[in-house]
Amino acid sequence: RQHRSMTWHSRVTFRLFSDISTKKPYLFWGITKIHYRPTAVVLTNMGGPETLDDVQSFLHNLFSDRDIMKLPFQKYLATYISTRRTPSIKEQYAQIGGGSPILSWTRKQGEAMEKLLDEISPETAPHKHYIAFRYVEPYTDTALKEMKKDNVERAIVFTQYPQYSCSTTGSSLNELHRSIQRHGMENLKWSIIDRWPKHPGFIEAVAGRIEAKLKEYSPEERDDAIILFSAHSLPMSVVNRGDPYPGEVAYTVHQVMERLGHKNPFRLVWQSQVGPQPWLGPQTSDAIKGYAEAGKKNLLLVPIAFTSDHIETLFELDLEYGKEAEEAGVTGFKRAESLNADPTFIKAMADIVKEHLDSNEIVSKEWFLRCPSCTFDSCGTTRDFFAEKVKEASKDKN
């Protein structure tokens, strides 16, 4: 079956008929309408509250997620923590326009990606993106309901986290597996793009954003500028469990600096730490203050683990750290733009999906390797499900 269009399209058909009275053949033409099923590309992410009214439910869902944390009396603690934190988080969202733009950016990215995919992979067209957020609408259940309505048979789950972490992509995939079971969609042809930290298109897009921002410095300032790659931190308990995220982020940074020719000094720093427990460091805030004390005046901040703007870039990087840098005397503080709808990045997204389709791979071998100290049963059951998909694909080949 060849997929070509999500909507009804006209096709002229010609058929040879025989006239009953004269027995002479004649050519008949007419319009036949055909409906093709789309190849689904499911964009997974944590999401963000679109309005201030969504903040508390977003936080409650986050702290209720037992795929990233197991707490005693978690249901009650999630309510308590989200209620306490909502006022301050609401204030942060109010300062960036009253909500997260992540849904808007993901839609723009998805629409542009699917158009490009239709061009470069006509044999699997039409392609349609579905958004599956973890903690806000559109939830994973919402995406699967829409896919079921569209009679989807082939679905590629495309994480929007370039680097894999059990706390992000891992949680999304576990929820996807549960949703597949709830909706009875086990028989779909599922596959996963679970990470892409070194994809050349992604590296080029990030490097392009850095080069564009470096041009805003004078030649003297540019040579002196320190590039600070900032990624969301993780609790050390997660890192020590064996989560691959720190290594994959570091590899992305290395590839970007290789592309840039190592013309500037750089460091990988970590943001968004919450709570008293030890987190991966150095913290972005501490790095800014430390370099300021050392007399460094030109710091270029680069979001390296995010694919669009949201609270961590617009508030934390731009406003919070921007203010800290100013107070510390950093006169050349800048932030590279997020990837958002950058054409180079959109092409990278389409290329990643195209390469995945051509590979016939269900999921990377790396994904099947669980953290050495993993204690989450859901991680095992999700992998068992996709292991069966690998076996089915192997049988089909034979």
Tell me which of 3, 129, 199, 356 is the catalytic residue: 199
Is 351 part of the annotated catalytic residue set?
yes
Edge-to-edge strand order for the sheet containing 298-303?
Answer: 266-271, 226-232, 298-303, 332-335
Residue pLDDT, tens place only, 161-191:
999 999 999 999 999 999 999 999 999 999 9
Q: pLDDT confidence of 396, banded at 50, 70, 90?
A: confident
How far is residue 268 from each of residues 88, 129, 169, 229, measured CA to CA in Å?
28, 32, 21, 5
Interatomic CA distance for residues 304 and 310, integer angstroms: 13
Residue pLDDT, tens place only, 89-114:
999 999 999 999 999 999 999 999 99
Is 377 part of the annotated catalytic residue set?
no
The whole model's pTM is what? 0.90
Residue pLDDT, tens place only, 123-138:
999 999 999 999 999 9
Is the pLDDT at 6 greater than 90? The verdict is: no
Among 30-39, 63-72, 125-134, 261-270, the minimum mean pLDDT is found in 30-39
Per the DSSP assignment, residues forming a β-bridge with 231 are 270
Q: Are 232 and 362 in contact (CB under 8 A)?
A: no
pLDDT value for 273: 93
Work out the angle at residue 223's Cα, subtended by the Cα atoms of residues 320 and 247, and round it to the nearest 5 degrees.
60
**Mean of the pLDDT values across residues 378-398?**
91
**Domain-wise residue ranges, the chain:** 9-38, 40-197+344-397, 200-335
Three-state secondary structure string covering the chain: CCCCCCCCEEEEEEEEEECCCCCCEEEEEEEEEECCCCEEEEEEECCCCCCHHHHHHHHHHHHCCCCCCCCCCHHHHHHHHHHHHHHHHHHHHHHCCCCCCHHHHHHHHHHHHHHHHHHHCHHHCCEEEEEEECCCCCEHHHHHHHHHHCCCCEEEEEECCCCCCHHHHHHHHHHHHHHHHHCCCCCCEEEEECCCCCCHHHHHHHHHHHHHHHCCCCHHHHHHCEEEEEEECCEHHHHHHCCCHHHHHHHHHHHHHHHHCCCCCEEEEEECCCCCCCECCCEHHHHHHHHHHCCCCEEEEEECCCCCCCHHHHHHHHHHHHHHHHHCCCCEEEECCCCCCCHHHHHHHHHHHHHHHHHCCCCCHHHHCCCCCCCCHHHHHHHHHHHHHHHHHHHHHC
Per the DSSP assignment, residues forming a β-bridge with 45 are 133
Residue 63 tokens read as 């702290």
Is the pLDDT at 13 greater than 50? The verdict is: no
The mean of the pLDDT values for the chain is 92
How far is residue 158 from each of residues 126, 169, 394, measured CA to CA in Å?
17, 10, 22
pLDDT value for 10: 36
pLDDT value for 2: 41
Residue 350 tokens read as 């389409």
pLDDT value for 395: 81
**Mean of the pLDDT values across residues 26-33?**
44
CATH of domain 200-335: 3.40.50.1400
**Mean of the pLDDT values across residues 207-229?**
97
CATH topology of domain 40-197+344-397: Rossmann fold (3.40.50)
Burial class (CB in 10 A: 0-12, 13-18, 19+), 286: middle
pLDDT value for 42: 99
- pLDDT more than 70, % of the chain: 91
Residue pLDDT, tens place only, 309-342:
999 999 999 999 999 999 999 999 999 999 999 9
pLDDT value for 74: 93
